[in-house]
Structure 1
Amino acid sequence: MNAPLRFHPRKTDSSYADLVQDAVVDPSLYTDPALFEAEMDKIFYKTWIWVAHESEIKNPGDFKTAQIGRQPVIVVRDKTGKINVLENRCRHRGATVCEKHKGNATGFTCPYHSWSYGLDGKLRGLPYPEGYEDVIEKADLPLQSLRCESYHGMIFASFNQEIEPLSDFLGHAKKWIDLFMKQGAGFPIKVQGEHKFSFKGNWKIQLENTTDGYHFPVVHKTFLSSVDEETSEMLSFMTDDQSITRSLGNGHSVMIMVPEHVDLDVDDGSEQLQERFAHVTEELSKTMPPEQVRRIVRSLHGAGFNLNLFPNVAMSMSFFRVLHPVSVGETQIRHVALGMDGGPEIANRERLRIHEHFQGPFGFGSPDDAEAWERVQAGSHAGRDAPILVNRGLNREWVDDNGDKVSHSTDETGMREAYAMWKKMMEK
């Protein structure tokens, strides 16, 4: 099956869905400001967006600020334990009521005119109330509350109050979220910290990357040369027939990189623990049984796959990658390091060192990825006569019994799934 290398004419100027045809994408998806504005309305303000992990707001009053599209929100646990996602915007004149990225609070107060709100968003008070008699009722002006649901500690929110249940949206991806969380080795997953940076490119360029195994040995050649032989061999999935990519519906996809670590509860004992973690094994063996030590050490690299959840979060082996579209040509990325909540400190420190080595600001992975993404953005200005191709593996893609499209991990099945969802949402 050969995909065309040029486009049919668009039906109308507003027919954005025509920009994705078969496995070919018009470069204007990266460069058109009007299309970017339409994506905010049709995608980011209509679907489920990941905003936080429950470990970040464990206690009453704990909060974290986030973005949905270009709108700021607050994710907060109130005094009853309920998680609320609130617009970070005073109902008076629109100023943000919280500027800290995270913390603990009893409420939120606007810095402009001191309107104050509770953790549930209710307007508690305003100064100098004279002049508001018979003008407003406090009960009518809470911080706007978003639809909010969570799955396995992953908190999602939506401006769309009529959206389908989160469980339905995640669909076949739920199985993979369950598997991803097994890297806690019997402990709950927790957020340990994050690295934030921006690149000069469109958000969809990064969206494509997480289940793009084709780029890994090329872009990350320096990283592979910087690690021990065992780690490099573990990540040599280019010619492994068990290393596959699956479309999971609703824009989601998964790329299996280390098949033997897909389900970390399964261990036949044949895998030798890496020598680089000998100090961890030695320390843990002082207080833990051998099977628990082995379970923790095997989990230090995380799960054996990258899971892409449309449109803004990836659960990538041992970290969350969160994208935030700033403009048509700029995207902010957060790399969120994960650890074991209540797990041994030495193992969590080792996970942080692994995260720093690849995802950190001085790591081998993030800078190389960002340069590749920016080069794609620069090249996209060539126009629609030089389309973006996402057709690798069309000749060997197949459909399994539950309807997932499956191909090799170096194929672009995941990208085609994401653009199919993009097209579906942009057609509405």
Structure 2
Amino acid sequence: MTIEAQHIVADAPADLVLGDRVAGRLYTDPEIFEQEMTKIFERTWVWVAHESEVPKAGSFKMTHVGRQPVIVVRNRKGVINTLLNRCRHRGASVCEKPKGEANGFTCPYHAWSYSLDGQLRGIPYPEGYEGVMDKSGMSLRKLRTASYGGMVFATFNEDIEPLEDFLGDVKLWIDRFMKQGGGYPIKVLGKHQFKFKGNWKVQLENTTDGYHFPIVHRSWMASVDEETADMMSFMTDPECTTHALGNGHSVMQMVPEHSDLDADDGTEPLQARFDDLVAQLKSAGLDDAAVRRLVRAMHGTGFNLNLFPNVSMSAAFFRVLRPVSVDETWIEHIAIGPDGPPEVVDPVNRARLRVHEHFQGPFGFGTPDDAEGWDRVQRGAQGAPEMPIMVNRGLAREKDSPEGWPTSHVTDETGMRGAYAMWKAMMSDD
């Protein structure tokens, strides 16, 4: 096939996605980006928080659904709300703190005040509104909000299917991911964020792209102990697979024996690098089985779970993407760990943060290399935008798993094909 015949030329954005390739225009066309914000980010469930980030009444965090600013806040009845961060009067934001605790939200421009549920509580000098406005109809806009496994999602679409239906078979993998608390609940430990000059879909592809790992992350592989390097040597292991789970979601199993941390026959030795941690946990009174659960989960689970369109549960952390423009994306890497008695979880979480920092962040061995790759994809995609981005690796060896999931090797692009199928469906829906 000639290069010319491979080009994808179409007017409708959805026609730019074929089964084994997508047009480079998907990364570079501002009009397509604008449609994505409306047809995808404002019509589907978007991850906004982990429940541990809003632990009690009045706790809030500021975030975005697509490009729209929102506040995730727990009210006095313990219900988590997602509120559009826009005063109903003249449109000013009512919150500018990234996170904190509040009794409500007050616009700094004209002091309209709102409850934790978004209800308009007070208006200064209300006499001018008599007979011209019903205060009960001027609440902050409230998004539909639901949680599963501690993961909080919101949507502008009141007619969307229930969250659990949208997640489908992903729920099994969320349940498995949360087992890395070693018997304790999971909590957010902290986060760092950065932006790259590239389209959001470049990053969406990355989390289930096992093909790049030993190439891009050679410096990280060279920096870790032999046991960790062996654990992540999955390129030729036929047991390492990627599954498309429906609705654009997918999971990449790099270390299958760690996919379910409860499935432990006791024969796998704990890594020597954690000997000091083992001693601390035993001195805190934990028995061997409890110590083993916590230490065996130090690297998280053995898989990356990608939830369309904006969050991945990547081994031992959350990676969240926020589209800003067609060629700019914000990324948050959120560190997590067990939530329990300080004498137990504090040493565990200190060690988990050191593991996290070793790969993530500006001084890590992983994030800078990833970001360089994403930047270069965006720069290259400016050339011949109708030339396809190929997502055909493993297509000939893809088969259905016993569960009915399209499945191929961990280095194959099964997850990407599933994500683009969902993208195509949503961009086709008028």
Common fold: TM-score over 0.5: yes
The Cα of 1:385 is off from its aligned counterpart by 4.7
Do the aligned residues in 2 keep the contact of 1:321 with 1:333 (CA within 8 Å)? yes
Equivalent residue of 2:57, what SS?
coil
Q: 1:358 to 1:40 in 2, by over 3 A?
A: same
Q: Could you tell me which residue of structure 2 aligns to residue 6 of structure 1? A: 6
Do the aligned residues in 2 keep the contact of 1:6 with 1:384 (CA within 8 Å)? no
Question: Superposed, which structure 2 residues align to 1:47-126 within 5 Å?
Answer: 47-126=44-123
Equivalent residue of 2:382, what SS?
helix
Are 1:306 and 2:307 counterparts? no
Q: Could you tell me which residue of structure 2 aligns to residue 241 of structure 1? A: 238
Do the aligned residues in 1 keep the contact of 2:146 with 2:152 (CA within 8 Å)? yes
Equivalent residue of 1:247, what SS?
strand
Q: Could you tell me which residue of structure 2 aligns to residue 318 of structure 1? A: 316
Q: Could you tell me which residue of structure 1 aligns to residue 387 of structure 2? A: 386
Do the aligned residues in 2 keep the contact of 1:50 with 1:313 (CA within 8 Å)? yes
The Cα of 1:4 is off from its aligned counterpart by 10
In 1, the alpha carbon distance for the partners of 2:49 and 2:5 equals: 40
In 2, the alpha carbon distance for the partners of 1:319 and 1:251 equals: 20
Q: Could you tell me which residue of structure 2 aligns to residue 332 of structure 1? A: 330
Equivalent residue of 1:285, what SS?
helix
Do the aligned residues in 1 keep the contact of 2:104 with 2:113 (CA within 8 Å)? yes
Identity %: 63
Q: Could you tell me which residue of structure 2 aligns to residue 396 of structure 1? A: 397
Q: Could you tell me which residue of structure 1 aligns to residue 257 of structure 2? A: 260
In 1, the alpha carbon distance for the partners of 2:184 and 2:210 equals: 30
Equivalent residue of 2:142, what SS?
coil
The Cα of 1:7 is off from its aligned counterpart by 3.9
The Cα of 1:8 is off from its aligned counterpart by 5.2
Q: Could you tell me which residue of structure 1 aligns to residue 15 of structure 2? A: 18
With normalisation by structure 2, the TM-score equals: 0.97
The Cα of 1:402 is off from its aligned counterpart by 2.7
Q: Which moved more, 1:311-320 or 1:344-353?
A: 344-353
Q: Which runs of 4+ in 1 moved over 4 A?
A: none
The Cα of 1:344 is off from its aligned counterpart by 2.1
Q: Tell me the alpha carbon deviations over residues 292-318 of structure 1, each in whole angstroms, 9 at most, x when there is no partner.
A: 111110011101100000000000000
Do the aligned residues in 2 keep the contact of 1:5 with 1:24 (CA within 8 Å)? no
Q: Tell me the alpha carbon deviations over residues 213-249 of structure 1, each in whole angstroms, 9 at most, x when there is no partner.
A: 0000011000010111111111111111111000000
In 2, the alpha carbon distance for the partners of 1:8 and 1:419 equals: 15
Question: Superposed, which structure 2 residues align to 1:11-410 within 5 Å?
Answer: 13=11, 15-286=12-283, 287-342=285-340, 343-410=344-411
Equivalent residue of 1:37, what SS?
helix
With normalisation by structure 1, the TM-score equals: 0.97
Q: Tell me the alpha carbon deviations over residues 169-200 of structure 1, each in whole angstroms, 9 at most, x when there is no partner.
A: 00111100000000001000000000100000
In 2, the alpha carbon distance for the partners of 1:177 and 1:5 equals: 42
In 1, the alpha carbon distance for the partners of 2:102 and 2:362 equals: 30
Q: Could you tell me which residue of structure 2 aligns to residue 411 of structure 1? A: 412
Equivalent residue of 2:228, what SS?
helix
In 2, the alpha carbon distance for the partners of 1:7 and 1:369 equals: 27
Q: Tell me the alpha carbon deviations over residues 267-312 of structure 1, each in whole angstroms, 9 at most, x when there is no partner.
A: 1111010011010011111211011111110011101100000000
Q: Which moved more, 1:200-209 or 1:336-345?
A: 336-345
Do the aligned residues in 2 keep the contact of 1:95 with 1:110 (CA within 8 Å)? yes
Q: What amino acid is aligned across from residue 384 of structure 2 in structure 1? A: G
The Cα of 1:322 is off from its aligned counterpart by 0.2
Do the aligned residues in 1 keep the contact of 2:48 with 2:64 (CA within 8 Å)? yes
Backbone CA RMSD of aligned residues: 1.2
Do the aligned residues in 2 keep the contact of 1:117 with 1:123 (CA within 8 Å)? yes
Q: How many residues align?
A: 423
User: Structure 1: any 5+ residue segments left out of the alignment?
Assistant: none
The Cα of 1:5 is off from its aligned counterpart by 6.4
Q: Tell me the alpha carbon deviations over residues 9-35 of structure 1, each in whole angstroms, 9 at most, x when there is no partner.
A: 42xx3x111100121110010000000
Equivalent residue of 1:395, what SS?
helix
Q: 1:147 to 1:6 in 2, by over 3 A?
A: same
Do the aligned residues in 2 keep the contact of 1:5 with 1:387 (CA within 8 Å)? no
Q: What amino acid is aligned across from residue 407 of structure 2 in structure 1? A: V
